[in-house]
Amino acid sequence: MSDELVNAIAEMQEDEALALVKKMLTSGVEPTIVLEDCRKAMELVGQRFEHNEYFIPELILAGELMKAISDEVKPYMNQSVDVKKSGKVLLGTVQGDIHDIGKDIVNFMLDVNGFEVKDLGVDVSVQTFVDEVKSYQPDVLALSGFLTLSYSSMKETVEALKASGLRNKVKIMIGGGAVDEQICTYADADAFGKDAMAAVALAKGWTGG
């Protein structure tokens, strides 16, 4: 069934994809498997975009479809994990970047795993992150970014926190798209996570949650 879902999403067959997701979830397939299929499908969409087979409208459609699927998956995640608030996470997509599908998955995975999450949305300015770290006092700051240009926004955000004397008060994790260890070193974050489960594992590791 998995390949079917990957293909339906990548081919923009919206109704078929949603029907398959519902069928998988009601027949007991783990929600994380559905999300992994979505990730594979988005990789295909990205490749087709790079090869000029897909254009911006397809990216938008894929984005909307991912959001609809996330809404289907969310209630199943809630059922599968025990809820106890174990720390505060401040989350946002960095300046210049409006990709939020991955961030939203990170948000709900942290939420269902017991974290209080404040989501600042997309294209969040460096100053907003600094102000919010000051007032919300999160245990963890989670920066998301999918564009190459987001790496410098991540670095600038960390630098601004250092300049404000807040850097040592918060653990910083970064993620999204092609973010890796190298970007983590470049931005001087504490860790990077390749997916939402990694985000949860990092946050738990830091808060003892």
Binding site for ligand B12 (CB under 6 A): 38-39, 42-43, 45-46, 49-50, 56, 59-60, 62-63, 66, 96-103, 105-106, 142-144, 146-148, 173-177, 193, 195-196, 198-199
Which residue number places its CB atom closest to ligand B12? 175
Question: Nearer to ligand B12 by C-beta: 138 or 176?
Answer: 176
Q: Residue 91 Cβ, how far from ligand B12 at the closest point, in Å?
A: 7
User: Is 179 within 8 Å of 145 (Cβ atoms)?
Assistant: yes
With tokens 């100053």, the residue in question is: 127
Q: Residue 22 Cβ, how far from ligand B12 at the closest point, in Å?
A: 19
User: Is 162 within 8 Å of 168 (Cβ atoms)?
Assistant: no
Amino acid at 186: Y
Question: Nearer to ligand B12 by C-beta: 62 or 158?
Answer: 62
Q: Residue 92 Cβ, how far from ligand B12 at the closest point, in Å?
A: 9
Question: Nearer to ligand B12 by C-beta: 53 or 131?
Answer: 53
Q: Residue 94 Cβ, how far from ligand B12 at the closest point, in Å?
A: 10
Q: Residue 131 Cβ, how far from ligand B12 at the closest point, in Å?
A: 19
Please say whether the dihedral angle defined by the alpha carbons of residues 36, 72, 172 and 59, taken in this order, is positive or negative.
positive
**DSSP secondary-structure letter at 147?**
S
User: Is 126 within 8 Å of 95 (Cβ atoms)?
Assistant: yes
HSE-CB at 60 with a 13 A cutoff on CA atoms is: 3
Question: Nearer to ligand B12 by C-beta: 97 or 111?
Answer: 97
Q: Residue 104 Cβ, how far from ligand B12 at the closest point, in Å?
A: 8
Measured N-to-C along each axis, helices 196-207 and 101-112 cross at an angle, to the nearest 10 degrees, of 40
176 burial (CB, 10 Å; 0-12 / 13-18 / 19+) is buried
Question: Nearer to ligand B12 by C-beta: 39 or 74?
Answer: 39
Question: Nearer to ligand B12 by C-beta: 20 or 102?
Answer: 102
* β-strand partners of 140: 89, 171
